[in-house]
Amino acid sequence: MTARTLAVLALVGRAAMASASPPAPAPLNVGAFPAPPFMMKQTDGTWTGVAAELWAEVARREKLEWRFVEGEPGNLVAGLVDGSLDVVAFPMVPTLERERVMDFTYGWYRTGLGIAVQRPSESRRWLSLGRTLLSAGYLQVFGALLLSLAVAGLVIWIFEKRANPDHFGPGLRGIGDGVWWAAVTAASVGYGDRVPITAAGRAVAVVWMLFSILFISAFTGSVAGRVAIQHFEELRSPDDLRRVRVVVVESSSGLEYARRNKIRATVVHSMDDGFRAVASGDAEALVAGEALLRHRTTRSFPELIVLPAILETQTYSFGLPDGSPLRERLNRRLLEVLEEPVWQNISYRYLGN
């Protein structure tokens, strides 16, 4: 066999091997859905946000080819189940219901389930003040105050009745003068129509003035603080939510929470639909992720506020098909990224402190 023949055979063999080599793997289909500040679709079709940039960094380090595929939250879960999606970068909360049909990566953001309501109106504040002042605890405080006035008036009358009969006369009328003096002194009015002149009387007056200052300051601060937070305290448990009109977003952890706790809730298509329902008065409370609520109320719905109560803690993760071979690889990269400044920069840029 000639050298030329051997060369031809070698070239043919190489061509056959090249044609038999496996094709490049198709890019991963990564599910996405707008959920500021975690996922936001720009006008040019690109995605930004905490989850979008975290996923991009993890995929870059793992040398994965991928593309975002937009879909509704419910369809994203269905895509993982039927195999049309390889990953969901939309922040997902691991729940028992979801765990039955899919898998999750390591949790990368800890938050909680929160409640958004309308800012309390002026009329509501007055109603709250009335309820506060008529509550059992404050009625007891009023009773204690009246008793203190009576005791202070009686004591000042005992010390002043002989030396100062013009201001603190005999009998019940004199005791009444003493109670009047105690009342105007406690209120810091001090008309001057009743003035103690004995050393003992003045000592009692000093003690009563100091007591009155401390008591009135504490009482006023307590009432103001109670009125400020009473609206917040009304909604902080499933029992509280059963008394109001609640709205939740479809295929969300808020919906699962409502179902699990037997809370009747109206289901809407998107977070903004929920915000609009509360703002218009069609609903009284929107239950959703606390971070999502704070971001949208701050930027787009200033007439709403997020209550300080957290219904339950949550952790955001990426979603995967059940038994996905990517899980361990992605978890290693996630832990690596979360311990480096790149994650701090991403979270600070979108979430601040």
Mind listing the pLDDT tens digit for each residue in 150-179?
888 788 888 887 777 777 778 788 788 788
Q: What is the CATH number of the domain that holds 345?
A: 3.40.190.10
| pLDDT for residue 90 is more than 80 | yes
Residue 273: what pLDDT?
94
For residues 132 and 197, membership in a common domain is answered with: yes
What are the φ/ψ torsions at residue 139 (nearest 5 degrees)? -65, -35
AA identity, residue 143: G
pLDDT of residue 27: 94
Q: What confidence score (pLDDT) does residue 42 get?
A: 94
pLDDT, mean of residues 121-131: 62
Confidence class of residue 236 from pLDDT cuts 50, 70 and 90?
low
**Contact call for residues 304 and 275 (beta carbons, < 8 A):** yes
Mean pLDDT across 252-277: 93
Backbone angles phi, psi at 76, to 5 degrees: -65, -45
> For residue 331, what are the contacts with CB-CB under 8 A and spacing of at least 6?
105, 106
Same domain, 229 and 239: no
User: Are 260 and 228 found together in one domain?
Assistant: no
Residue 21 has pLDDT above 90, yes or no: no
Banded model confidence at residue 207, pLDDT cuts 50, 70, 90: confident
Q: Which two tokens mark 68?
A: 């975002």
Give the pLDDT confidence score for residue 10 in this predicted structure.
53
Q: Is the pLDDT of residue 295 over 50?
A: yes
Number of domains in the chain: 3
Each residue of 84-120: b (16+ CB within 10 Å) or e? ebbbbbbbbbbeeebeeebbbbebbbebebbbbbbeb
Least confident of 23-32, 285-294, 315-324: 23-32
- 182 in a domain, yes or no? yes
- Structure tokens belonging to residue 185: 């002194």
* 292 inside domain: yes
Rounded to an integer, the average pLDDT of 231-244 is: 72
Q: Is there a single domain that holds both residue 148 and residue 67? A: no
Highest mean pLDDT among 44-48, 229-233, 236-240: 44-48
Q: Tell me how far apart the alpha carbons of residues 290 and 309 are, in angstroms, rounded to a whole number.
A: 10
CATH number at residue 207: 1.10.287.70
Q: 239 and 223: one domain?
A: no
Q: Are residues 86 and 158 in the same domain?
A: no
Amino acid letter, residue 85: L
Q: Are 319 and 295 in contact (CB under 8 A)?
A: no
251 and 286 part of one domain = yes
Quick one: 171 and 208 in the same domain? yes
Q: Check whether residue 250 and residue 295 sit in a common domain.
A: yes
Buried b (16+ CB within 10 A) or exposed e, 249-276: bebbbbbbbbeeeebebeebebbeebbb
Residue 7 lies in a domain: no
Say if residue 37 is preceded by a cis peptide, omega within 30 of 0.
yes
Give the pLDDT score at 157: 81
Check whether residue 72 and residue 136 sit in a common domain: no
Average pLDDT of span 241-265? 92
**H-helix segments, the chain:** 3-20, 50-62, 73-82, 96-99, 122-133, 136-160, 171-186, 199-233, 238-241, 253-260, 271-280, 290-299, 326-338, 341-351
pLDDT at position 81 is: 94
Q: Is residue 214's pLDDT more than 50?
A: yes
Determine the pLDDT at residue 277: 95
Of 269, 266, 275, the C-alpha closest to 246 is 266
In a domain, 77, yes or no: yes
Look at residues 186, 209, 233 and tell me which one is the last residue of a structural domain.
233
- Inter-residue contact 273 to 282 (CB < 8 Å): no
pLDDT at 232: 47
Average pLDDT, the chain: 84
98 inside domain: no
Dihedral angle at the C-alpha atoms of 79, 85, 89, 90, nearest 10 degrees? -20
Confidence (pLDDT) at 257: 93
Instruction: Mark which of 185, 215, 233 sits at the end of a domain.
Output: 233
Residue 267 lies in a domain: yes
Comparison of pLDDT for 66 and 214, the residue scoring more:
66
Closest to 94 in 3D by CA, of 313, 334, 347, 346: 313
Q: Quote the domain boundaries for residue 217.
A: 125-233
Q: Quick check: is 1 in a domain?
A: no
User: Residue 195 class from Cβ within 10 Å (0-12 exposed, 13-18 middle, 19+ buried)?
Assistant: middle
Are residue 253 and residue 328 in the same domain, yes or no? Answer: no
Residue that terminates a domain, selected from 233, 256, 276: 233
> Between 171 and 247, whose confidence is greater?
247
How many whole angstroms separate alpha carbon 109 and alpha carbon 60?
20
**Strand, coil or helix: 37:** coil
Same structural domain for residues 282 and 333? no
Domain assignment present for residue 200? The answer is yes
- Degrees (nearest 5) of the Cα angle 288, 87, 89? 40
pLDDT band at 61 (very low <50, low <70, confident <90, very high): very high
